[in-house]
Amino acid sequence: MSSSQTVFPAKLAKIVERFKRRSNPKQKYEQLLWYGKKLPVMPEENKVAENKVHGCVSQVYITAIKEDGKILYQGDSDAQLVKGLVAFLIEGLNGLPPEEIIKVQPNFIEETGLQVSLTPSRANGFYNIFQLMKKKAAELI
């Protein structure tokens, strides 16, 4: 697992490890694009102001529902790379109880090494997407 003291949920830790193994920034980008292509289509009616991520240059939307005590996210972006960031977070956090999601600290972002590959505005957007997902999880407790 991670060499730091922070323990991430298993699915998120697995994704972080996948990114850590790619030392080349181009490979990290390709990995993000791959995640973005796997992201299920988000219905247009969910692309409303209350689901919009603020602080992103791209248009990004996140929804969350609670089913059987677990959070299920859906998301989309108009930018392929950002869509990959959305998919990364959804895959890492989907199916977890909200109490577990709100405990996740954002230092996993640094562990991926992505901040080196991302522009400052994209890195900030990634953080803002994560924060909105935590906020939506907290609202569903």
Helices (H), 57-118: 80-93, 98-101, 107-112, 114-117
Q: For residue 69, count other CB atoms closer than 10 A to its CB.
A: 10
Quickly tell me which residue has 């400052």 as its tokens.
120
Quickly tell me which residue has 């059987």 as its tokens.
68
DSSP state letter for 78? S
Backbone phi and psi for residue 70, each to the nearest 5 degrees, phi listed first: -120, 150
Catalytic-role residue among 15, 16, 42, 56:
56
Closest CA to 75 of 56, 62, 91: 62
Active site annotation includes 56: yes
Backbone phi and psi for residue 65, each to the nearest 5 degrees, phi listed first: -130, 160
Write out the catalytic residue numbers: 56
